[in-house]
Structure 1
C-alpha cells in the first residue's frame, strides 16, 4: 500500500501530461503609422501626467471635479468592479482544486444490523439494535494527471485579467462620456450666450423700427420683420436650453446623482484649443486599449478550456480516505479500539457518455473561434477609432480656421449693412440677412470649439486612456453602498456575522 500511495503522490506533484493547446497570442498585422496623424502629432506633450487622470490635460477644474464624482459614485462602474471581484474569487476557487479536501461528517444514528449480512464468522441470527456514533474525517484529493486542473487555473486567471480590463474599459468609457457631455454643454453655453446677445440687439432693432414707424420714417414691413427676428432668436434660446438640460441630466446619471438634485452652472467663456495628444504607433494599441486586452485574455481563457474538455476523455484518479471513530456507546467513542480507517485510490475511466464529452469539446472549440474573431475585430475597431479621431481633429482644425474667417467677414458685413440702413441707402432686409449670417457663424465657431475638444477626448479614449503604460492596473476607489455585501461594503467581523445569522433565523 505504501509504494502505491508514494507513486500517487509523485504523480500528483509532477506534471505527467497537460492535454490541450498552449495559448499563443495570434499574429496581428499592424501598419507602421496612422494615415491621419501627418502634420498633427506633437513631439512630447504632457507625458508626465498619470495614466488615470488624462482629463487634466484640459486644465478645467470643474471637469476634474465631475470626474472624481463620477469615479466615486457611478453605478455602472461599481457593477464592473463587482464583476471583477467575482472573477478574482473564481481564481481562488480554481486554485483550491490543487489541494485535498477534508470534512468531518459526524453522525448519530439508531440502527439494526442484518443477521444475514456477509461476515467472516457465522452470525447465527445475531444482530445489533441501538445507537451508532460515528465521527469520521473524509479525505479526497484528485491527481492532476492530464493537466485538467492546471488548465482550469489558466482559464480562471485569464478570466480575471479580462474582467480587470473590462473594468478599466468601463472606467475609460465613463470618463470619456463625462468629458464629452461636459464639452457639449460648454459649447452650448457659448451658443446660448451668442443667441441671447442676438435677442438683445434684435429687440433694440425692433424698438428702432417701431420708433421709425411712429415717426413716419419707416414701414410696418420693417417692424414685422424685426418682430420675426426677435421671436426666432427667443425660440432658438429655448431649443438650445432643452439640449443643455438633457446633457446635464446625462452627466447626473454618470456621476450617480439623481437628475432632480444635480445642477451644472453655465460657463460662456471661450473654449481652449484642444491639447496635443501623443498618438504613438499602431502597435501600442495592442497594449494600451483595455477592450483589446480583455478580448485577448478571453481568447486565452477559451484556449485553456479546450484542454479542460479534452481531459474528460482520460481516466481520472482520486486519492480518497476516511478515518475516525465508530462506536455504539458514546462513553468509549474516542478509545483506540473505536478507531477505523480506509485509504486508497479511486479510478474513473470514461467508457460511454452519450457523446457528452465530445459535445463539450466542440463547444469549447467554437467558443475559442468566437473569441478569436472578437479579438481580431477589437483590433480593427481600435485602429478605426484612432483613425477617425485623428481625421476629425485634422479636419475640424481646418474647418475651425475657415469658420473664424467667415465670422470676421460676417461681422464686417453686419457693420456695413447697419451703417447703410441708418444712412437710408440700404433696405432693412440687408441688415436682417447680415445679422443672420453673423449669428450663424458665431454659433458655428462655438460648436466647432466644442467638437474639437470632443475629438480630443475621442482620441484619448481610442488610444486607451493615458500615456504612462508602466502604471499597474488598479481598482478605482468608489463610495461603498451601505446595502452592498461584497468587497465594496465595510467588512464585518466573524462574531458580527454569526449574530446576523441568528437574527435572520
Structure 2
C-alpha cells in the first residue's frame, strides 16, 4: 500500500501536469475577425442589362444588375482561362507561353515555396527535438567542486560520452501556436500574391498583344495613305507639266507624302518596342521572338454587366491584404506571450566512462532530466520596456494592415467602376467616330473630284486627306483602347467568371499554377 507521502507526490505531479496543459491551451492571441469596409449597394457604372458572347456567363436579372455583397476574398476559386472569351487562338498560345516561361511568375512560385518552408519550420516547435552525440571530454575538476581542501590534488581525466539529448518547449500561453498561425497567414498571403502576379501577367500579355495589333492597324492605314499620296503626287505633277497649276501644289504634295512615310516609320518604331516587351513577358529574348503583322479587329467580347459580387471577392490582392491582417493579429498574441513564463523541458540519456572500452557497459549508463544550464521555467521580470514596445509595435502593425486592407478594397471598387465606365463610353465614342470616318472619306472624295475639275485648291484636298487619316487613326486607337479596357475590367474583377474551365498545362508554368492550388 502506498504511503501518504507517495500519494501526495503523485497528486502534486498530476496537478502540475494538468496545470501545464491548461496553460498550453490558453492562447493570448486576439480572436481574429475580418474588419468591415465601406461597400456601396451597387456598381455605379454597371448598365441595367447586358448581353455577353460568353456562353458560360449568365447575365443577372435587371433587378440584380450590378449588385453585390461585402467583399470576402475567395481567391481559392478556379478562374479558368478567361482570355478565351476573345476567341483568338494566337492570344491563347501567347498566354500559355507566358505561363510556362515568365521569370517573374517563377520567382513568385519560389516565394510560395519559401513561405511553406517557413511554416514547416514554425510547426516544428510543436514537437520535441532529439540529438545524438559521441566524443571525449578532457577536464579537471576543482577541489572545491568535490568538497575537498583547497590544496588537494585532483587529477585531470578524460571522460567519454555517448548520449541522446531531448529538448521541448511547452506551448505556454500559446506562444508556439501564435507563431505557427502567423507563419500560416504569411504563407496564405504569399500564395495570394502569386495569384496576383499570375493574373497581372495574363492581363499584361493580353494588353500588349492588343496594343501590338493596334500598331499594325495604324501601319496598314499609313501604307494606304502613302499609296494615296503617291497617286496624288503623280496627278499633281501631271497637271503641273500641263501648266494647269504652279509648283506650289507639287511641293505640298511631296511634303504630304514624306510626312506620311515619316509617321509610318514612327509607328513602326513603337511597334518594335511593344514587340520586345511582349517577348520579355513570354520569357524570351527579343531577338528570338517575332510577331507577324496582324491588324486589330474590333473586340466583340463583353463582360457581363450584372456581375455577382463573388467576382470581386476573388481578387488576389484583397486576399493578400486580408491574410496580412491575420498574420499581424497572430503576432499580437506572440508579443503578449512574452510577458508570461516560458517552460523548456530538456534531458539526456546515454553512457559515460573514463575509458572508451567501458563506455557501453550497463554500469556506465547516465541520465539528466532538467535544463543543461539555467532553469526550466523562466519568468520575465524587467527588460527596460522591450516587451511593452514589441506589443505596441504588433498592435500598430495590425492597425496599419487593417487600413491597407480597406484601402485595397476601395481601390478595387474604383478600378471596376473606371473600366465599366470606359467600356460604356468607349462604345458611344466608337459609334460617333465611325460616323466621323465615313464623313471624312466622303469629304476627301468630293475634294479630289472638285480639284480635278479645277473648282478647289489643292490645299483643300490635303486638308480632307489629313482629316480622313486622323479619323481612321482615332478609330483604330479606340478599338485598341476598348480591347485593353475589357482586359482591365476582367483583371479588376479578379480573373474569369462563371463555369469557365481551364486545361492544365505542362512545364514550369503548369507547376507554378499548381503551387497556387495546393
Question: Once the 2 structures are TM-superposed, how far is the Cα of residue 260 of structure 1 from its aligned partner?
Answer: 2.4
**Contact 2:131–2:164 under 8 Å retained in 1:** yes
Q: Which residue of 1 aligns with 2:40?
A: 31
**Contact 1:321–1:341 under 8 Å retained in 2:** yes
1:430 and 1:394 map into 2 onto residues whose CA distance is 36
CA pair 350-477 structure 1, distance change in 2 beyond 3 A: farther
Q: Which one of the candidate residues 293, 299, 306 is aligned to 1:272?
A: 299
Q: How many residues align?
A: 480
CA pair 381-477 structure 1, distance change in 2 beyond 3 A: farther
CA shift digits 1:320-370 (9 cap, x unpaired): 111111111111111111111121471000011121111111111111111
Question: Once the 2 structures are TM-superposed, how far is the Cα of residue 111 of structure 1 from its aligned partner?
Answer: 2.5
**Contact 1:277–1:456 under 8 Å retained in 2:** no
CA shift digits 1:65-113 (9 cap, x unpaired): 1111111111111111111111111111111111111111323222333
Q: Which residue of 2 aligns with 1:352?
A: 382
1:308 aligns with 2:334: yes
CA pair 92-71 structure 1, distance change in 2 beyond 3 A: same
1:201 and 1:44 map into 2 onto residues whose CA distance is 38
Q: Which residue of 1 aligns with 2:360?
A: 334
**Contact 2:143–2:149 under 8 Å retained in 1:** no
CA pair 367-124 structure 1, distance change in 2 beyond 3 A: same
1:92-111 equivalences in 2 (<5 Å):
92-111=120-139
1:90 and 1:11 map into 2 onto residues whose CA distance is 31
**Contact 2:328–2:394 under 8 Å retained in 1:** yes
**Contact 1:289–1:463 under 8 Å retained in 2:** yes
1:378 aligns with 2:408: yes
1:279 and 1:170 map into 2 onto residues whose CA distance is 27
Q: Is the partner of 1:140 in helix, strand or coil?
A: strand
**Contact 1:34–1:282 under 8 Å retained in 2:** no
2:20 and 2:390 map into 1 onto residues whose CA distance is 25
1:299 aligns with 2:329: no
CA pair 30-283 structure 1, distance change in 2 beyond 3 A: farther
**Contact 1:313–1:357 under 8 Å retained in 2:** yes
1:471 and 1:198 map into 2 onto residues whose CA distance is 44
CA pair 383-341 structure 1, distance change in 2 beyond 3 A: same
1:367 aligns with 2:394: no
2:167 and 2:217 map into 1 onto residues whose CA distance is 72
Q: Which residue of 2 aligns with 1:261?
A: 288
Over aligned residues, Cα RMSD in angstroms? 2.8
Q: Which residue of 2 aligns with 1:154?
A: 181
Q: Is the partner of 2:173 in helix, strand or coil?
A: coil
1:78 aligns with 2:87: no
**Contact 1:81–1:475 under 8 Å retained in 2:** no
1:454 and 1:62 map into 2 onto residues whose CA distance is 16
1:333 and 1:2 map into 2 onto residues whose CA distance is 35
Question: Once the 2 structures are TM-superposed, how far is the Cα of residue 453 of structure 1 from its aligned partner?
Answer: 0.7
2:306 and 2:153 map into 1 onto residues whose CA distance is 89
Q: Is the partner of 2:154 in helix, strand or coil?
A: coil
Give me the TM-score of the superposition, normalised by structure 1: 0.89
Question: Once the 2 structures are TM-superposed, how far is the Cα of residue 42 of structure 1 from its aligned partner?
Answer: 3.2
Q: Is the partner of 2:145 in helix, strand or coil?
A: coil
**Contact 1:274–1:452 under 8 Å retained in 2:** no
Q: Which one of the candidate residues 432, 454, 457 is aligned to 1:424?
A: 454
Can you give the 5+ residue segments of structure 2 that lack an aligned partner in the other structure? 1-8, 59-77
Q: Which one of the candidate residues 462, 470, 475 is aligned to 1:445?
A: 475
Question: Once the 2 structures are TM-superposed, how far is the Cα of residue 284 of structure 1 from its aligned partner?
Answer: 4.5
**Contact 2:311–2:497 under 8 Å retained in 1:** no
1:228 aligns with 2:255: yes
1:56-71 equivalences in 2 (<5 Å):
56-71=84-99
1:465 and 1:283 map into 2 onto residues whose CA distance is 11
Question: Once the 2 structures are TM-superposed, how far is the Cα of residue 45 of structure 1 from its aligned partner?
Answer: 3.7
Q: Is the partner of 1:250 in helix, strand or coil?
A: helix
CA pair 23-211 structure 1, distance change in 2 beyond 3 A: same
